[in-house]
Structure 1
């Protein structure tokens, strides 16, 4: 999300953003020309990444792809750089019982929710891919946050955009915005996906055409839909909660999360305690949360699945978190293709070995 400071200092920061974008563009061209070598995995590889930073839904979409691959018998493996992780050795195979301090919050969440897949943390993803190929013979690599990771060849680049990316954040490269590369980088994308409700996607129609038609790639909408609630400890689940509740989050886009939760619960939280993305929760944080709940009159405390893996074990057995589904509804094609949602468009042919780049 673009900060107030970035908006105020935009004219002064724009030259720096252009310079950074130029450097990243040169890097991309050098990989494209073969100046820098690239690792070519033996199995198909799909990158799930973005042009900006945070809040675009990469992790839920990667999880959906893992489930799809498992349903196809592909033995998928997810390669994560492990933001915030401190593993004792590398590569680090994440297991459902792994300590969150070693695995990182998102890799651990994926390992818990998709136990049939291999989730590996290593900032050098060429190394983790080679290690997995040697010992586990995966059928599909999911390259998490991989759009800028050009050292590894991929079959498809799925690029996630936020509504802000298509709006006032368009082509605002750091430090004047959140983009990691300039707009020219989007020519490398094979598919665009935008997280948000179907009606917001419809409202963005003109902007989507204006911004993305030039690339000629399909654009899909998806939304994160809470399906039910579950206790952090035990197996208790509920379709919803009747009383006042407090929301806790440490995610990239807390505003969008709040809208999603409010819609699911049918009413707003009495308070929303916001921590920075990937916050490492501790006992003091739990005390702050409980104090906020008491002050607001909340009977229940609800957190995100990503935060749940860090809060669990800190005396939070009574907290609730969500079971999340992905819902695909809208799409936009620029080649005359009839609109179909992503989950109907996506199939084995998209990752055929004969279609490698």
Structure 2
């Protein structure tokens, strides 16, 4: 990531105009959808899009999982629509279960289906099609559009937009290929709720900057982070203490350096090794052999991977590997309408969801 950022800075005079063109194209596309010039699927139940303005590391999958768990607690039947990055489904739409081959389902949909067996996770790059199919098959009470901020072919009642601290500083309004943003800052006006994935102290120290960047949209901003409960073997079982043994990390995610920093905090020491694979890496038996050889060489007592890697490594005889048992934790907030600060769990309710759904239906009839 550091090398990429350095290259983008060096090539800024060349990349910035290309980013401007990309941003303009995305803005025109958004206008066409807003004017209903392009066909959209309109869900027959409340629909929440969980997406971001930049790429990777903003916590979309954990927040989507939190929504599925919340819906279950309310007695609601939920469906999540995923494009299934890296998936090769045997048919479309594809219903993901805990037993689905990861090659067919994709790693993130499989992780969500495994952790939320009460929800329906459906993979299809054409989400207008999967949305209609899921509605006909399951009659859901809630539809979650995973990674959906720029996917406007499915109409939503609420846009949850997730950001990282970098989005407010070095990454602000730097659109592909100049930076990691998928569209320009004007796209943020479509958001209904903002989330910032960061530690509490970092969020509080950035409040003035966040207010400066997002204040004009008058939408609530919630801080969240992933709280580690402990370690788990890949084959399941109860949560275990972190311990103080030497450990080695394995990851195939977008921001491995973030995983390494988090594990240093959890374990109280640096990993003795971090084997980094590309994002969504399809692990093989040869990879597992290499991991075990490296572990023996560096003297690691534990091999720890991310939850996303766990669903792939679990099927390759890695039951003795560990993964981090994580939960989403909301604490801080910023409101621009005089609302008393409170965390997202306290603010969020079925009434807010229903109000948004009724507002969409009312506006569509005008």
Q: Shared topology, TM-score over 0.5?
A: yes
Distance 2:10 2:40 in 1: 40
Structure 2 distance, partners of 1:252, 1:203, is 25
Structural mapping, 1:95-174, within 5 Å: 95-174=97-176
The one of 359, 362, 366 equivalent to 1:355 is 359
Asked whether 1:204 is paired with 2:189, we answer no
Give structure 2 stretches of 5+ with no counterpart.
none
State the distance in 1 between where 2:236 and 2:162 align.
Answer: 34
Task: Using the TM superposition, give the Cα deviation of residue 236 of structure 1 relative to its aligned residue in structure 2, in angstroms.
Answer: 5.3
Take 2:248 and 2:80, find their aligned partners in 1: how far apart are those partners?
A: 33
Deviations 1:138-157 (A, max 9, x none): 11000000000111110100
**CA distance in structure 2 between the partners assigned to 1:97 and 1:121 by the alignment:** 15
Is contact 1:226–1:261 with CA below 8 Å preserved after alignment? no
The structure 2 residue matched to 1:257, chosen from 235, 256, 259, is 259
Q: Structure 1 length normalisation: TM-score? A: 0.97
The answer to whether structure 1 residue 271 and structure 2 residue 273 are counterparts is yes
Are the aligned partners of 2:229 and 2:239 in contact in 1 as well (CA < 8 Å)? no
**Aligned residue in 1 for 2:324:** 322
1:325 CA displacement: 0.8
Aligned with 2:227: secondary structure? strand
- Gap regions ≥5 residues in structure 1: none
* Aligned residues: CA RMSD: 1.2
- Per the alignment, residue 92 of structure 1 pairs with 94
Structure 1 residue 248: deviation in Å? 1.0
- What SS does structure 1 have at the residue aligned with 2:315? coil
Describe the superposition over 1:102-122 as per-residue Cα deviations: whole angstroms up to 9, x where unpaired.
Answer: 110000011110000000000
**Aligned counterpart in structure 2 of residue 301 of structure 1, from 296, 299, 303:** 303
Question: 2:162 and 2:149 mapped to 1: Cα distance?
Answer: 10
Deviates more, 1:255-264 or 1:100-109: 255-264
Pairwise CA distance, 1:16: 0.6
Query: CA separation in 1, counterparts of 2:127 and 2:36?
Result: 19
2:232 & 2:335 partners in 1: Cα distance? 38
CA distance in 2, matches of 1:74, 1:320: 32
Residue 234 to residue 184, structure 1, CA distance change in 2 (3 Å)? closer
Q: State how far apart, in whole Å, the 1-side matches of 2:216 and 2:62 are.
A: 28
| Alpha-carbon separation, structure 2, partners of 1:237 and 1:244 | 19
TM-score, length of structure 2 as denominator length: 0.95
Runs of 4+ in 1 over 4 A off after TM superposition: none
What is the match of residue 51 of structure 1?
53
Question: Matched residues in 2 for 1:335 and 1:252: separation?
Answer: 35
In the alignment, the residues of structure 1 paired with residue 47 and residue 119 of structure 2 have an alpha-carbon distance, to the nearest angstrom, of: 14
